[in-house]
Structure 1
Amino acid sequence: MPFDVRRFDIYRKVPKDLTQPTYTGAFISILCCFFILFLFLSELTGFIATELVNELYVDDPDKDSGGKIEVSLNISLPHLHCDLVGLDIQDEMGRHEVGHIDNSMKIPVNQGEGCRFEGEFTINKVPGNFHVSTHSATAQPQSPDMTHHIHKLSFGEKLQVQKIQGAFNALGGADRLSSNALASHDYILKIVPTVYEDLSGKQRFSYQYTVANKICAIVGGTFTVAGIIDSCIFTASEAWKKIQIGKMS
């Protein structure tokens, strides 16, 4: 008897006359194909999309900043006159500045009863604080109303990028207009250096304050699960037919 290499075939083929097509199997097969196509296109879209990669630096990556951080502040105090509004800055390096006015403007709002403060300034990369207060006013009001709305508070270089992920303006939109008029408001911030690098390799340094390819698995896994479902439905339907004609007791 001649040697037949087909004896080693572990994937034996079932003759077509021993198989039985069903409407259920056809329906599940069509759904299976559409599901595979949907998952394939989803994975393909994710594969070709631009990826944002986040990296954490222990050291400050911006070596040319000179130990300074740029700050951009835009805040409205609708019940505090502009003559009373000032910016104070102090830190552990000994800086103590009251009434900072460089690169800033005060815009009257609420028919002159309130003020919108917009300013850009720098702070040292050491623990410290800056605050909007009435300390720089020549005469202190008896009951200053510090209710406010923060339009923007950001650190570092301005990133002109749409839909960028991250907390670059975490306090933007903060509303304290309904709070106690005589209360002071403290925000404790933890600032994290952030490097944004675009596709051209250009880097921008900013600051934030206080997530793989499965195409083969999709096709194989979907067919496997669909086959199991089809087999279960077919077996159940055949058993039900036998019960109806009395072949199963």
Structure 2
Amino acid sequence: MLMVMDEPKPNHWVFFSVAQNSPDFTLTIVFFILPHSEVKMGLKQTIKSLDAFPRAEEHLLQKTQTGALVSVIGLVIMATLFFHELRYYLATYTVHQMSVDLKRGETLPIHINMTFPSLPCDVLSVDAIDMSGKHEVDLDTNIWKLRLNSNGHIIGTEYLSDLVEKEHADHKHDHDKEKDHPHIHGFDQAAEALVKKVKQAIAEGEGCRVYGVLDVQRVAGNFHISVHGLNIFVAQLIFDGSKHVNVSHMIHDLSFGPKYPGIHNPLDGTVRILHDTSGTFKYYIKIVPTEYRYISKDVLPTNQFSVTEYFSPMTNSERAWPAVYFLYDLSPITVTIKEERRSFLHFITRLCAVLGGTFAVTGMLDRWMFRFLEALTKPKRRKETECGSLSGDGCCFGGN
């Protein structure tokens, strides 16, 4: 049977339902014609039923002073946690990676800043030698010396031009040289003036501050600061023996490259003072090549190091002169330090967790306080109600 429908009215929705009856295939089609307003109302009710946060009417809500206090405290806590999480998100953190060092043919910068409170600048020299013991005639060196008075204040400055670059065997001041070459280094007026000047400086408590940069080959070696630059006879006249050379020192800065955020140089701030004795300090340094990668993708090649210290006191049979040695070796492993920042999704997740947790806890606290105060005040209100109903008999005022 075929049924023809008229065109639906304006602002009406047409719905139809199809049913099939087996086995004779009876087809039934039912049409529903509903106004638009009823359809929209049904959709709104369906959407409202999905609301997980229903609201009560304003006249059904009860506001209390304790609730206001808890709300203010909760807002303060949430604001504090928000700024804490924001700061945590904006802050960078570092990731360390290790790999084999493949650098070759580069120089190693050594930054020095030391003070020798008991040795004048005229007797101090910086000696540098690598593991092969070859001459470093092309060593690019910028070393300065500052004269200090007994109080540690600066007197004057001069460029350290007496950097000693020699074979390891030449670093020993043996008494045999005195016997073999008694007349080679004759004392002239300049030598006598130097001896007199240094003795006066020692008597006045003059010290020296040595600072600058040594650019050495990127191989194992050592550098040391001592009186080895002096003529052996001049040194003997000044100090009257090696046991009177006081190599007390303070290391303000010792590094092997530029500094990066968070670096720790273990020798910075080291103070070694000798009293009535002398000897040789040796610092065994293990250098680790390091590459610091900033969040801006800039790369800073540098080095970090660990150190072991050893002190050898002078003996009567000791021929070598006291000194401060820095013996360094390079690690075959390089460390890459990368700055990274947490993702925005990580920030949103943590923020929702802390703020939602604070909101839930303050809500629980508000309910508990309300119930507690209600339990305390309920007996009192009940008594007042009873007294009000019986006030005519005077029961609340002590009447008969």
Cα distance, 1:178–1:232 mapped onto 2, change above 3 Å: farther
Is the aligned partner of 1:225 residue 2:355?
no
Query: Retained in 2: the 8 A contact 1:151–1:173?
Result: yes
Compute the RMSD of aligned alpha carbons.
Answer: 3.7
d(CA) in 2 for partners of 1:171, 1:231: 59
Deviations 1:65-91 (A, max 9, x none): 615321011211010133432334455
Matched position secondary structure for 2:285: coil
From 261, 276, 300, the counterpart of 1:204: 300
Corresponding position of 1:189:
285
Q: Deviation per CA, 1:130-170: give whole Å up to 9, x if none.
A: 332334433353311111122221112x35x7xx3222x44
More strand as a share of residues: 2
Contact 1:85 1:136 in 2 (8 A): yes
What's the offset of the Cα at 1:223? 0.2
Measure, in 1, the Cα distance between the counterparts of 2:105 and 2:282: 28
Offset of 1:177 from its aligned partner?
Answer: 4.1
Q: Which residue of 1 aligns with 2:79?
A: 37
- 2:97 aligned counterpart, secondary structure: coil
Residues 205 and 101 of structure 1: is their aligned pair in 2 closer, same or farther, counting only changes over 3 Å?
Answer: closer
User: What CA distance in whole angstroms lies between the structure 2 residues aligned with 1:192 and 1:130?
Assistant: 18
- From the two aligned structures, give the one with the greater helix fraction: 2
Instruction: State the partner residue of 1:120.
Output: 213
In 2: Cα distance, 1:7 partner to 1:75 partner: 78
Q: Which residue does the alignment assign to 1:94? A: 132
Residue pair 1:76, 1:115 contacting (<8 A) in 2 also: yes
User: Which whole-Å CA distance do the structure 1 matches of 2:145 and 2:51 have between them?
Assistant: 85
Gaps of 5+ in 1: none
Q: Report if the CA contact (8 A) 2:246-2:274 is conserved.
A: no
1:8-57 alpha-carbon deviations (Å, 9 max, x no partner): 766555555554321111111122122222322332344345x3644333
* Contact 2:128/2:224, CA 8 A, preserved across alignment: yes
CA offsets 1:85-130 (integer angstroms, 9 cap, x no match): 2334455x323779x9943233332274322222422345455443
d(CA) in 1 for partners of 2:134, 2:253:
24
Amino acid at match of 2:247: M
Q: Return closer, same or farther for 1:54/1:209 CA change in 2, 3 Å cut-off.
A: farther
- The one-letter amino acid of 2:253's match is K
Query: Which 10-residue stretch deviates more, 191-200 or 145-154?
Result: 191-200
Count of aligned pairs between the two proteins: 236
Report the residue type matching 1:192 in the other structure. V
TM-score (norm 1): 0.73
Equivalent position SS for 2:231: coil
Distance 1:186 1:241, change over 3 A: farther
Identity of aligned residues (%): 31
Give SS of 1:137's match.
Answer: coil
CA distance change for structure 1 residues 8 and 73 in 2, over 3 Å: closer, same or farther? closer
Aligned mates of 1:205, 1:174 — CA distance in 2:
25
Q: Which runs of 5 or more structure 2 residues have no equivalent in the other structure?
A: 1-41, 151-200, 236-241, 307-338, 384-400
User: In terms of Rg, which structure is larger?
Assistant: 2
2:271 counterpart of 1:166 = no
Distance 1:240 1:174 in 2: 67
Tell me the distance in 2 between the aligned counterparts of 1:238 and 1:124.
82
Per the alignment, residue 112 of structure 2 pairs with: 73
Is 1:21 aligned to residue 63 of structure 2?
A: yes
- Residue 146 of structure 1 corresponds to 247
2:358 alignment partner AA: T
- CA–CA separation in structure 2 for the residues paired with 1:174 and 1:70: 20
